[in-house]
Structure 1
Amino acid sequence: MKRFFSFLTLLLFSALPALSQTRASQLQQPNIIFILTDDLGYGDLGVFFQNQRQQLADRREPWHYTPHLDRMAASGAQLTQQYANAPVCAPSRASLLTGTHQGNAHVRNNQFDKALENNHTLGTVLQAAGYSTVAIGKWGLQGVDEVGPHWPAHPLKRGFDAFFGYMRHRDGHEHYPVEGVYGGPKQVWDGYENVAATLSKCYTTDLWTAKAKKYITNHVQGADAAKPFFMYLAYDAPHAVLELPTQEYPKGQGLRGGLQWVGTPGHLITTASGQVDSYVHPDYRNATYDDDRNPATTETAWPATYKRYATAVRRIDDGVGDLLQLLKDLQLDENTLVVFTSDNGPSLESYLPAQYVPNMPTFFDSFGPFDGIKRDCWEGGLRMPTLVSWPSRIPTGRVVTTPSIFSDWLPTLADVARVPAPARTDGVSLLPSLTGQGQQPASLVYVEYFEEGKTPDYQKVELNRRGRKREQMQLLRLGDLVGVRYQVAAASDDFELYDVVKDPAQRINLARQPGYEHLQQQFKVKALQVRHANPTAKRPYDDALISAVPAPATASPGFSWKYVQGDFPWVAAESQQPASAYGTTKVVGGKELRHKQGMVYYTGYLPVPADGVYEFSLTTTGNAFVRLHEAALLDADFSYVAGTQLTQRAPLQAGLHPLRIAYLGSKKRASYLTLQWRKAGESIWRPLAPVMTTGQP
């Protein structure tokens, strides 16, 4: 009988890959897994920095290992110049999910638990593209106006078919939901049900990994097996609590080994036994280093804090290796895009008891070759350790040095899924850079953030950055140059300018050198043109006049427009689609709207007669999105009710301001689009009267 069941099990396991291979060959859209860690630094990955420390073999500078992630890097792409949208988790994750940078975002600053807006997300876009969607791990964007389980921005209300994980931000600070070693019992939600009571001895890195493996395996066998899946896997480690697993990582990986979902309450996963917060990886258990920087003296054991940190990172590495092996076992790996990254730079936070030494990112130089940590707008706080694997499309060993930012992932994954990116997204598709096919448009790397604290007083940090007040901060990258401002008091404040390709540690402030005056002004102008004010995150430059642009060489009255035929699911971002028709019009909403099956794009320059604050009004029976320069101005798309008037203000300098309108007509109603403006304080709206450079977009 035992031999019969063994044979049956073997038959099932051998059949699964064959079935998966057949299905994978039929799918044109790849499966997508987006893995996001919490407070993991650029320098924490072997391939980005730790391996260099190991090769130098300087016993004064300890190192740790990420072997599975290193193999992932070798088999795919490294994005060495990718930025988070913010240097702390809530706004960074919100910008990732919505594809908006912090100048246009709804969640900004330290707005933990604020509801993710009811708009396009990675989940809704990929759902519409035919994907089964699941979020596992840390969320923290559910909203605080209601008590669970029916939060206004529950993942199931933001494009995900399933959710398993921590809903509240503060729960993500604890890596044992039941035992609460350093933070008390937490809530873990399976959809709308709190299942934390069943999770005894479940270390969350293991828990999320096991749940992810279970989801993928079930998907292969389930009713939706013919659909591709999108998984947002958000680990809450190695965040400050620095707890240890219960035991070593289970032997083997993938379908037959590694972590498995047992499913028994009180023993849900294979590592839910043994002693909580006890296991140190053997590579670090007896590790020593030259703490006094004297090779003649006996080396000292690593402080327990850093054995914990290295073990927590290694556990994530083991989990990723386990998932990648599962994809191979199911023969899904060729047709699965996997992204690995972190939400912001490394943290000095530690919730360990007083007997432990403080957590210092300098022990492993977790910020890599940069300055800055979590909550900093220096490179170390924002430059992310990003890896991408997609064996059928991304060449092995590819290194992408093109600058990019998290808000690029929504248009990238939309491109991968073969649907248009919503016009609301601020990013561009990274697919050309990843695959080496085609030319990637320039990414807009822009960050704004407020933090009351100071930068750390580390000897490894540039002297003028130690103990420096942060307050209002801003970062903008143009080409190889990054402009950074701390304690911003006015739009006229100077940026510090650094060539972060030649000078990644940002030691040479080019703004102090002659010949950079015009670039200083360019950064100040651009920083106002890419954003709009948000009353919940006020900035000292919110009311500054947005600079006009130079007059075009040739111009005539009105808008230029083009019509792109197609069945669009939402107001789509304009790309290089060929125009089915084009022309000019003095005002929007004319005969060009007779085309219903597709998008109409308007471009023009708005001639502002005098400095001041101007109001804009939009009403339509279809859907539309309006940009002024690169700032989001009016959004009548995702949840817009036909016929509703939307208004917005903008402080504008006299002169020309580029205006772009994307319009998607309704199939049920006659097309109607009215866009008007007036100077603040006036009572009468009037039609826009722009100028254009050419009649053919």
Structure 2
Amino acid sequence: MFRFVFLYALTCSVGALQLLAQSKAGRQPNIIFILADDQGYGDIGAFFQNQRAQLHDASKPFEISPHLDKLASEGAVFTQHYVAAPICAPSRASLMLGVSQGHSNVRDNEFDKALDDNYTMPNTLRTLGYTTALIGKWGLEGNDKYDLNGYQWPAHPLKRGFDYYFGYMRHADGHEHYPKEALYRKYWAENGKGVWQNTTNITSKLDKCYTPDLWTAAAKKYITDHVRGRDQSKPFFLYLAFETPHAVQELPTQAYPKGGGLHGGMQWIGKPGHMITTASGTPDSYMYPEYANATYDDDNDPSTPNKPWPATYKRYATANRRIDDAVGDLMQLLKDLNIDNNTLVVYTSDNGPSNESYLPEDRFPPNRPTFFSSFGPFEGIKADTWEGGVRLPVIVRWSGHIPAKKVVATPAINYDWAPTFIDIAGQPAPQRMDGISLLPVLTGKGVQRDPTVYIEYHGEEKTPDYAAFAPAKRGRVRGQTQLLRVGDYVAVRYNIQSAKDPFEIYNVVNDPAELQNLANDPARQLAVKLPYVDTSGSVSVSVFQSYVQDRVLQLHHIGIGSPRPYDSALVPAVKVVDPVPGLNRSIYTGNFPWIPQTAGLKPVTRDHVQFPELNEKGKELKTVTVFTGYISVPRDGEYTFYMACDGKSFLRIHDIQVLDADYGYSGNLPRQETIFLKAGLHPFSFSYYRDEENGDPFVKLDWSGPGLRRQPVEKAKVFFRDKEAGAH
């Protein structure tokens, strides 16, 4: 029997079922997700800088990150982890929503756009018993609206699932790291910009507060207050979002306080004018000694004297080292509070390294990520869909559950983390989410399904003309770009003009710098299995090329904004061997908070039907009915699907989210959506969930298309399924 590859149906892992018992006993782990801003794969010692240091080459200066290296040694590192987009806002939106850029409502350079009002990382965890907090940068708040009650941001963190918020609201706020003084860019002169505590602007109290120190002190206070407070029996989820090393590379006021943890390190004092330990001395003055006096062989000639590092890079290294100290401080706090063994910590970045510095050009040289090779063994930077722009460092520590010194080579992407955390909390993720749980590969328990790594982005800039990059990449116009990872291979294309534009193809395991474009050799055989195409494990480059051109259309929804040149392209059908009429109908029972991803769940009944219809079991409360198979499209063209039901429902064709009537859905309200389809068979999945009484149970699914007036789908014999093994 053919194995479905719908994203919505990816695994609710065995680990989740085990942890469900823990959650019922109140032993869900705390979760801390730490996100740096524009920190490259190559900026972390354990991933690249330590190897650079071991070269003992004075022409290759290096950074150090002792605390992050220690964290990596105590848990797992992901070496093939991607972000959904190579720039801040869309990357963070996909992270929060658990969806790819094919379904995210925030794309490209849509900074400050309101995050979709749907399932998010924090609101799902809050539903599962967590208290939730965001400390640091947001930038997904929506357009400003000011009235007598203050700013009414439609997607304020408190409106997207966070119980507590402390940080920068707007994207541009994060370009400065002294919110009150604003030493290099005056963002706070107008419009109330600055640091917000829930809905109160407290910038006026933050004298000399360097934001990495400020966020760390606030995070430590939040964790300590929670552990000692009345909600201490509940687990907490903390999203700690640094806005460094991006933008103005300012320096701290002083050395990082010694000790760390409960009684040392950065502390929240709470006194206006002196809110944190380091809110004294001179802003933008302290540089780590190992960087302040560092020299390098600037001309790659050992016979000439070494020169001091340019000031820009001393500052950049200091910004990264300050985050490293903050992580060490937080980890010590977890130990001091005796919660380190029951706290999952994830550390990563939002996109590749930047060539921005925002420092006055008459005083500081420009920033170039080539100085430390911040892109690591790859090529490309922020805004590139080359590996250097989208392959990021990830460290995960959960003592007793994740083995120390574990290296995870499984490809993954940042929209997998929301489903992973939901899995850990004891439930399968919503079908709305494209990501899957990574718990099996982290813990070694259960079967890890293959994540789908898919990226979209549009930017008019060019890949920098760095000598460190291959000539074919230098100065390339980005335009519309895409990336799809399949096995060891990445298919990537730049400046897309149409859906038929060819992809460049690279084996990024053997060729991480993407130097050998395999698309130049169409007859070459690639070691990969392609669903619906060839499962033998070997296909030609030309077959692979055709597959990825089709596949990216099966992952992308039109009409969300930021138009793509392939929006109106017809979604290709699939080839199915000996299909038989009808659909699979599987019924699941459970107290699910949403329509769940069902792979890994055991159905209470399973049978076959000719079209989506409910049986008596499916009409019961707390019951999910899932219909899977194929829909036969008679002609090429534009098709519209219409849905109404008394409960909740969700329709995918291929991996495209066609109809979402789950989050916030009120029964009986009609939904409709249009999709462009080629004639032929298309993977079809339709789910219905009756979680509360809302009239008589019913599902109504209609469609219309070329030469096809709107009609119920059951009127046409258009559904097929795979022939079961052993069937005659």
Amino acid at match of 2:292: R
State the shift of 1:675 in Å.
1.4
CA contact (8 A) 1:560 1:695 kept: no
Q: 1:197 matched to which residue of 2?
A: 204
Q: 1:18 matched to which residue of 2?
A: none
Q: 1:65 matched to which residue of 2?
A: 64
CA contact (8 A) 1:573 1:662 kept: no
Alignment of 1:464-503 (within 5 A): 464-503=472-511
> Quick one: distance in 1 between partners of 2:182 and 2:399?
40
> Quick one: distance in 1 between partners of 2:376 and 2:163?
37
1:103-159: CA deviations, max 9, x gaps? 111111111000001110011110011001000100000001524532110110101
1:572 aligns with 2:616: no
State the shift of 1:459 in Å.
0.1
In terms of mean alpha carbon deviation, does 624-633 or 661-670 score higher?
Answer: 661-670
1:324 to 326, 331, 348: 331
1:158 aligns with 2:160: yes
CA contact (8 A) 1:615 1:680 kept: no
Q: 1:108 matched to which residue of 2?
A: 107
1:561 to 577, 585, 593: 585
CA contact (8 A) 2:23 2:425 kept: no
> Quick one: distance in 2 between partners of 1:116 and 1:681?
38
Amino acid at match of 2:458: F
Q: 2:700 matched to which residue of 1?
A: 674
Alignment of 1:297-336 (within 5 A): 297-336=304-343
> Quick one: distance in 1 between partners of 2:691 and 2:443?
36
State the shift of 1:686 in Å.
2.9
CA contact (8 A) 1:628 1:657 kept: yes
Q: 1:505 matched to which residue of 2?
A: 513
In terms of mean alpha carbon deviation, does 558-567 or 282-291 score higher?
Answer: 558-567
Q: 1:629 matched to which residue of 2?
A: 654
Amino acid at match of 2:124: V
1:546 to 547, 556, 571: 571
1:693 aligns with 2:693: no
1:437 aligns with 2:437: no
Structure 1 residues 26, 648: closer, same or farther in 2, change over 3 A? closer
Work out which structure has the larger RCO, using CA pairs closer than 8 Å and 6 or more positions apart in sequence. 2
In terms of mean alpha carbon deviation, does 390-399 or 666-675 score higher?
Answer: 666-675
> Quick one: distance in 2 between partners of 1:283 and 1:26?
48
Amino acid at match of 1:161: D
1:285 to 260, 278, 292: 292
State the shift of 1:590 in Å.
2.7
State the shift of 1:509 in Å.
0.3
1:540-597: CA deviations, max 9, x gaps? 11111111011232412x2211111111111111221111112222222332532322
1:502-544: CA deviations, max 9, x gaps? 0000000001112311010011011111111135211111111
CA contact (8 A) 1:572 1:662 kept: no
State the shift of 1:411 in Å.
0.7
CA contact (8 A) 2:649 2:661 kept: yes
Q: Provide the secondary structure at the position in 1 that maps to 2:243.
A: coil
Q: Provide the secondary structure at the position in 1 that maps to 2:77.
A: strand
1:304-330: CA deviations, max 9, x gaps? 000000000000000000000000111
Percentage of matched positions with identical amino acids? 52
1:434-469: CA deviations, max 9, x gaps? 112222111000001000111101000111111110
Q: 1:10 matched to which residue of 2?
A: none
State the shift of 1:641 in Å.
2.1
Q: 2:426 matched to which residue of 1?
A: 418
Q: 1:387 matched to which residue of 2?
A: 395
1:229 to 208, 229, 236: 236
CA contact (8 A) 1:245 1:279 kept: yes
1:453 aligns with 2:477: no
Q: 2:176 matched to which residue of 1?
A: 174
CA contact (8 A) 1:563 1:595 kept: no
State the shift of 1:685 in Å.
2.7
> Quick one: distance in 2 between partners of 1:447 and 1:136?
27
CA contact (8 A) 1:560 1:694 kept: no
Q: 2:19 matched to which residue of 1?
A: none
Structure 2 residue ranges without an equivalent (≥5): 1-21, 525-540
Structure 1 residues 552, 387: closer, same or farther in 2, change over 3 A? same
> Quick one: distance in 2 between partners of 1:641 and 1:594?
17
Q: 2:676 matched to which residue of 1?
A: 651
1:44-63: CA deviations, max 9, x gaps? 00000000011011100000
> Quick one: distance in 2 between partners of 1:509 and 1:141?
37
Q: 1:94 matched to which residue of 2?
A: 93
Q: Provide the secondary structure at the position in 1 that maps to 2:472.
A: helix
> Quick one: distance in 2 between partners of 1:552 and 1:442?
23
In terms of mean alpha carbon deviation, does 669-678 or 66-75 score higher?
Answer: 669-678
> Quick one: distance in 2 between partners of 1:427 and 1:574?
13
1:639 aligns with 2:664: yes
Q: 2:130 matched to which residue of 1?
A: 131
Q: Provide the secondary structure at the position in 1 that maps to 2:478.
A: strand
> Quick one: distance in 1 between partners of 2:48 and 2:638?
49
In terms of mean alpha carbon deviation, does 282-291 or 672-681 score higher?
Answer: 672-681
Q: 1:142 matched to which residue of 2?
A: 141
2:302 to 295, 298, 322: 295
Structure 1 residue ranges without an equivalent (≥5): 1-22
Q: 2:5 matched to which residue of 1?
A: none
What is the aligned residue count?
674
TM-score, scaled relative to structure 1? 0.95
> Quick one: distance in 1 between partners of 2:701 and 2:330?
50
Q: Provide the secondary structure at the position in 2 that maps to 1:325.
A: helix
CA contact (8 A) 1:174 1:180 kept: yes
Alignment of 1:33-52 (within 5 A): 33-52=32-51
> Quick one: distance in 2 between partners of 1:344 and 1:455?
15
Moved over 6 A (4+): 23-26
Amino acid at match of 1:140: G
In terms of mean alpha carbon deviation, does 146-155 or 498-507 score higher?
Answer: 146-155
Q: 1:6 matched to which residue of 2?
A: none
1:353 aligns with 2:360: yes
Amino acid at match of 1:588: P
CA contact (8 A) 1:43 1:50 kept: yes
> Quick one: distance in 1 between partners of 2:175 and 2:157?
19
State the shift of 1:27 in Å.
4.2
Q: 1:8 matched to which residue of 2?
A: none
1:641-694: CA deviations, max 9, x gaps? 211111111111110001111221142122211111110585433325311225
Q: 2:259 matched to which residue of 1?
A: 252
CA contact (8 A) 2:702 2:710 kept: no
Structure 1 residues 641, 24: closer, same or farther in 2, change over 3 A? closer
1:591-637: CA deviations, max 9, x gaps? 25323222111102000111111111111110111111011111001
CA contact (8 A) 1:46 1:64 kept: yes
Amino acid at match of 2:589: Q
> Quick one: distance in 2 between partners of 1:447 and 1:384?
14
Amino acid at match of 1:675: L
Q: Provide the secondary structure at the position in 2 that maps to 1:164.
A: strand
CA contact (8 A) 2:105 2:560 kept: no
Amino acid at match of 2:240: L
1:365-391: CA deviations, max 9, x gaps? 000000000000000000011100001
1:264-297: CA deviations, max 9, x gaps? 0110000000001110011101000000111011
In terms of mean alpha carbon deviation, does 145-154 or 186-195 score higher?
Answer: 145-154
